[in-house]
Amino acid sequence: MVRSALGHKTAQIGRGPRLGADYVPAATVVLGSLIAVLPIVSARGWWPDAGLLMLIGWRLLRADAWPAWWAAPLGFANDLITGTPIGLSVAVWSAVMIAMDVLDRRTMWRDYWIEWAIACVIVGLAEFAQWRIAAIMGASVPLSMSAGPSILVSVLCFPIAAYIAARLDRWRLGR
Amino acid sequence: MAASAGPRPGWSRRAQYSLFFSFLAVVGGLLAGLIMLILSLVAPQSYAVVRGAALDVTAPISGALSEVTTTVTGLVGGAGDYWNAANQNGQLKRERAALMRRMVEARAILEENQQLKAALQLRERTEQAVAAGRVVGSSFESPRRFAVISVGSSDGVKIGMPVRAPEGLIGRVIESGMLASRVLLVTDRANIVPARILRGGQPVISTGRGDGTIDVRPLEVGKNPFKPGDVIITSGTGGLYPPLVPIAKVIRLDDDGAIAVPIADPARVSFAIVVPPYEPAALEVASRPDSGTL
């Protein structure tokens, strides 16, 4: 039997979840939304939707990162911070949580590439919804010009969000 | 990796119920989101207060961060200026002499202009700024093109007021908090500005393209009147935007119009000046949510 107290430095004694570990995932989603507060004036709007990427990153990593209904208030905060029409992120993010619950029931296993593909589909649909709402509000930009590059950039940024989520998950649980 | 925690949390009734209720809650969230979205499509005014409050909270952060970045870029730029000070000095002297000559000419033209206007009995409106602030941020990821400026309703800014920089037109205010406002840029698809070509004065319509450029089309169908390099200025038609403010410069022609780039790049302008609407009556029309054309 190995005694923890006499073991080497990686022993698990005295280590556990950090204070407020339950709130770290949601806080990083809000931080992702807050990237929009940076004083950068973008002419094209091709920046990734960082809040949504963090949401997907956490949800793909864990089903219990937060209670599913938290997606609504998180989306509301995202709407207020980024200036998208109020209700768009609330609806889209809640729909993402429901879709992921359904997906969890249907899939037997997942690997890195499947998760990336899921993120691609979700980001694409979210951008399409945003583009459609903008068109209804009087800004009918061609899809290839605004949503296309934006989807590509977001999809390429997803591994970064997934990496941040995975590292923070280990940190918050003290592993 | 195995799929995350399955649908059934075990035999505990309590855990099963709590899972079921959390599912109900997220469906409720989805429905609430859809209702809010429909409300913001049909009656955007209903969110004016909460959006203004959100702007007031986030804009000061952007403002403080933008101070830091301008200071850093200023330091770097300032050091660069010292590097070739002698060269720059000579160049500036030459430019100054040239500008002096141009200024004398301009003053002569101005005086002549005033005499002619007096002869025509034109009513000249003095253009007074309501407030001047900085552009502190913008929409990042969206087909819409908005910017955030650091002046709000406490400075007298009202929804619908035109915003310009010394260089040219930026857009008009669509949301205003106490301390900050959101501006619909001229590059947004929903911002339609009545304009004319500086050379020749033919009336055109300027519409944003959502990607940082502007689409300009002539009002009358016929030969394409644009040439690369043409400057597009506001015409004052509609009464919202003051006339003779530069909007954009033509860079490329297409079949019956042209693509132009804005002269006042919101990323680079030092100040955004909020001006009252040219005709005060136009403000009520412009503050309506669905008024793209003005």
CB B111 within 8 A of CB A101: no
Runs of H (alpha helix) within chain B: 13-42, 48-83, 85-120, 282-286
pTM for this model (two decimals): 0.79
Kindly report which listed range (A73-77, B18-22, B72-76) carries the lowest average pLDDT score.
B72-76
* Alpha carbon of A30: minimum distance to chain B alpha carbons (Å): 13
* Residue B80 contacts A where some CB pair is shorter than 8 Å: no
Identify whether B291 is part of a domain. no
Same domain, B245 and B108: no
Residue from the list A39, A47, A82 with its beta carbon closest to the beta carbon of B136: A39
Shared domain check, B98 and B223: no
For B94-138, what is each residue's pLDDT tens digit? 999 889 888 888 888 888 887 777 776 655 555 678 888 888 888
- Digit-coded pLDDT (tens) for B1-13: 444 455 566 788 8
pLDDT confidence of residue B293: 44
- Return the higher-pLDDT residue of A24 and B15: A24
Q: Is residue A8 part of a domain?
A: no
pLDDT digits (tens, 9 = 90+) for A104-146: 888 888 888 999 999 999 999 998 998 888 888 877 777 777 7
Q: Do B190 and A139 touch (CB under 8 A)?
A: yes
> Is position A138 within any domain?
yes
A-facing residues of B in 136-175 (CB < 8 A) are 136-148
B114 and B251 housed in the same domain:
no
Task: Clarify whether residues B270 and B169 are in a common domain.
Answer: yes
Q: What is the pLDDT of residues A40-74, one digit of tens each?
A: 777 777 788 899 999 999 999 988 888 888 999 99
Q: Is residue A3 scored above 70 in pLDDT?
A: no
Structural domain harbouring B117: 87-124
pLDDT at A96: 94
If one counts the domains in chain B, the total is 2
Q: Which domain holds residue A83?
A: 18-36+44-172
Q: What is the Cα B228 distance to its own chain's centre?
A: 23
Check if the beta carbon of residue A161 is closer than 8 Å to that of residue A115: no
Where residue B63 falls among pLDDT bands split at 50, 70, 90? Answer: confident
Alpha-carbon dihedral sign for residues A32, A35, A37, A41:
negative
Instruction: State residue A25's pLDDT score.
Output: 92
